[in-house]
C-alpha cells in the first residue's frame, strides 16, 4: 500500500510540464534511486533499490540493480540484472534479464524472453496466462490468482481452461465471492460478523434494516452503480499513466466492497426478521435470531440452481446500496 501512494505522488509530479524536454526527474534516498518521467531508460549500476514510474520504462541489459526494483508504468521492459525482488505494475511487461529474487506482476500481459533467468517465484495477475519463451529459465513456482499458471503452448495459444490455481487463492473456491455458492463455513463467518454488529451497534443495525425496507429500490440502484462502476473506473484509469496506481487501489477496494455488501444485507435482513419474531422479548437474543435466520435464507438463496447467481447479485448490490444510504444519512446536513 505504501508503494501505491508513493507512486501516485511520483506520477503527479511527473505530469507537471515543468521541463519542456520531458526529461525524467531523479533523486536519491540512501543507496536507492527514485525516477519519475514519461520515458525512462536505466542503463547503469544502482547500488540499492530502484523505484520508477512513467509511461515507458526500460532497464537496459548493461544495468544492475543491487536491491529490489519496483516499477509502475504502461510499457515496461527489464533486460538487466536485479539482485532482489522485481515488482511490476503495468499494462504490459517484458522480462528478459536476470532476477535473483521473486517476481510480482499486475497488469494485462506478461512475457518472459529467451534470456530471462528467474531464481525465485513468479506471481502474476493478468488477463491471460504469461507467455514464456523456450529459452527462459524460471527456477521457482509460477503462481496466478485468476488463471492457471500454465504458460502458453508452443503454438502460442493460451492453455485452457481459465480456472483459479490450486494455491494462491484456493480458499476462494469455498467462499465463492464472486462464485455465487457461499459455503456453510463462509455463511458462519459472515453471520458472525453480522452478529457482532447487531450486538454492539443495535441502532446502526436497525437503521440498515429501515433503509432496506423503506428505500429498497434506491439502495439497489446505488449498489448497482457502485458494483459495476468501480471496475469500469479501474479500466478507464488503466488508460492513463496517473490512473494506474488508482486502478490497483480500486481493484483492492472492490472485493472489500462485495464483502461489506454481504455483511450489510445480512444485518439489514436480520433486523427486519428480528422485528417480526415474537417468541422472545426485544433484545439481543431476538436480534441474533434474526441474523441467524437471515444468514440461512441467504445461504439457501445463493445455492439455488440457475437463480443463485441472480440472487447473489441482487443481495450484494442491495447490501452495498443500503450501507451507502445509511452512512449518508449519518452525515451532518
pLDDT in tens, 179-211: 345 666 777 888 888 888 888 888 888 888 888
Q: What is the distance, to the nearest Å, from the Cα of residue 305 to the centroid of all Cα atoms in its chain?
A: 28
> Is the pLDDT assigned to residue 173 strictly greater than 60?
no
In this prediction, residue 275 carries a pLDDT of 80
d(CA 110, CA 238): 16
Average pLDDT, the chain: 76
Q: What is residue 133's predicted lDDT score, i.e. its pLDDT?
A: 92
The b-or-e profile of 230-252 (16+ CB within 10 A means b, else e) is beeebeebbeebebbbbbbebbe
**Using CB atoms within 10 A of its CB, is residue 183 exposed (0-12), middle (13-18) or buried (19+)?**
middle
Query: With bands split at pLDDT 50, 70 and 90, how would you rate the model's confidence at 115?
Result: very high
pLDDT at 284 over 50: yes
How far apart (Å, rounded) are the C-alpha atoms in residues 55 and 272? 52
| Model confidence at 136: pLDDT above 60 | yes
Amino acid at each position: 500500500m505504501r508503494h501505491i501512494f508513493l507512486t501516485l505522488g511520483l506520477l503527479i509530479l511527473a505530469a507537471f510540464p515543468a521541463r519542456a524536454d520531458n526529461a525524467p526527474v531523479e533523486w536519491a534516498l540512501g543507496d536507492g534511486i527514485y525516477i519519475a518521467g514519461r520515458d525512462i531508460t536505466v542503463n547503469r549500476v544502482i547500488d540499492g533499490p530502484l523505484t520508477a514510474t512513467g509511461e515507458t520504462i526500460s532497464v537496459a541489459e548493461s544495468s544492475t540493480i543491487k536491491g529490489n526494483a519496483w516499477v509502475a508504468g504502461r510499457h515496461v521492459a527489464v533486460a538487466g540484472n536485479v539482485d532482489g525482488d522485481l515488482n511490476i505494475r503495468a499494462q504490459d511487461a517484458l522480462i528478459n534479464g536476470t532476477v535473483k529474487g521473486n517476481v510480482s506482476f499486475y497488469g494485462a500481459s506478461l512475457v518472459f524472453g529467451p534470456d530471462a533467468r528467474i531464481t525465485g517465484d513468479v506471481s502474476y495477475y493478468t488477463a491471460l496466462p504469461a507467455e514464456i519463451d523456450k529459452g527462459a529459465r524460471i527456477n521457482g513456482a509460477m503462481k496466478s490468482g485468476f488463471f492457471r499458471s500454465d504458460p502458453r503452448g508452443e503454438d502460442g495459444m493460451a492453455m485452457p481452461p481459465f480456472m483459479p490455481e490450486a494455491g494462491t487463492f484456493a480458499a476462494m473456491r469455498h467462499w465463492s465471492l464472486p462464485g455465487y455458492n457461499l459455503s456453510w463455513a463462509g455463511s458462519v463467518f459472515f453471520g458472525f460478523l453480522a452478529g457482532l454488529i447487531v450486538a454492539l451497534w443495535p441502532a446502526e443495525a436497525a437503521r440498515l434494516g429501515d433503509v432496506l425496507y423503506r428505500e429498497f429500490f434506491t439502495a439497489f440502484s446505488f449498489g448497482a452503480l457502485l458494483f459495476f462502476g468501480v471496475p469500469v473506473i479501474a479500466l478507464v484509469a488503466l488508460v492513463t499513466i496517473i490512473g494506474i496506481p488508482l486502478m490497483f487501489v480500486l481493484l483492492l477496494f472492490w472485493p472489500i466492497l462485495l464483502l461489506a455488501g454481504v455483511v450489510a444485507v445480512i444485518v439489514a435482513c436480520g433486523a427486519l426478521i428480528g422485528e417480526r419474531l415474537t417468541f422472545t422479548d426485544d433484545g439481543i437474543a431476538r436480534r441474533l435470531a434474526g441474523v441467524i435466520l437471515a444468514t440461512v435464507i441467504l445461504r439457501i438463496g445463493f445455492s439455488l440452481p440457475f437463480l443463485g447467481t441472480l440472487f447473489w447479485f441482487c443481495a450484494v448490490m442491495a447490501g452495498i446500496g443500503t450501507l451507502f444510504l445509511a452512512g449518508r444519512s449519518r452525515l451532518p446536513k
